[in-house]
Amino acid sequence: MSFCYINGFYKNNIDAQISVEDRGFNFSDGVYEVMGFRNGKLLNFDKHMYRLCKSLINLQISKPFSNPNSLKIIIYHLLKLNDVNDGFLYLQITRGTAKRNHLFPSNIKPNVVIFTFSKGSLDKIKKGVNVALTEDQRWMRCDIKSISLLANVLDKQKGHESGFFEVWQLRKNLITEGTTSNAFIVNKKSHIYTHPKNNFILGGVTRDCVIELALKNKLKVIEKAFNIDDIRKCNEAFLTSTTLGVIPIIKIEDTIINKKKIGLITKTLMKKLDDYLNKQIYE
């Protein structure tokens, strides 16, 4: 039996209900976060909260929690109810329930849903994955972690059906990010390239952690968009996300990366990120 949190109550997942007039259903009018936890301890909580608050402000949705510690208490109780120590949680906040109308309703209370899910095995993909390329069909505010993910879903599905693990998206021949991850390459000078944080990408929490760790370890990071020619000439490539961490890429379309071997910088960042997350367990 699994439990979720919904609007102030803990419910069995199969008994949880929300109105058909929830604006998340009708307009994708909401935001979300996915957070990891290890040994019962939330990871990167403050970073996720900062991004969540930014998304809420950008969409003019009221903050349902005045104090982040209140949310922490709710989450930790949910972990206890589900008797889980390792995994992820999904937190969704929509504008609320109101009569269907494009205009924002006044004095509306946000709907909040939180549930947990298990951590799958990463052993196979940590040996390297393949990535497809496609045109970026998303809107111009990708920096908002909106629940409107249909363009990502369609591209991810198309890539999966063609045998690819992930799909990187392009605007004007420049890689923005993946459908569910941020994109990185390492050039022949061992410089790490990734798209800068702006309205064309979602600034991933793990992306930011990896950049911080790279800089601390005296690796050069250049936040500049790269193109297909850069991919063909790169030494390494990898992707990042909360649910996956750092995953090496061994093939992008028809381009083989580093003879399908995991590069030294990618290996280093995989290890440094894991150490960084484990350290949070004991803080």
Decide: 219 and 265 in contact? Cβ < 8 Å. Answer: yes
What's the start-to-end Cα distance of the chain, in Å?
A: 31
The amino acid at residue 31 is V
Please pick, among 72, 119, 126, 145, the residue that the annotation labels catalytic: 145
Q: State the Cα torsion 237-149-50-44 to the nearest 10°.
A: -50
The 8-class DSSP code of residue 126 comes to: G
145 is catalytic: yes
**Partners of 117 in the β-ladder:** 88
Cα(14)–Cα(262) distance, integer angstroms:
43
What backbone torsions phi and psi does residue 134 show, to the nearest 5 degrees?
-155, 165
Cα(82)–Cα(103) distance, integer angstroms:
38
Cα(101)–Cα(88) distance, integer angstroms:
34
**Partners of 241 in the β-ladder:** 245
Decide: 47 and 68 in contact? Cβ < 8 Å. Answer: no
The amino acid at residue 193 is Y
Residue whose structure tokens are 């419910």: 11
Catalogue the active-site residues.
145
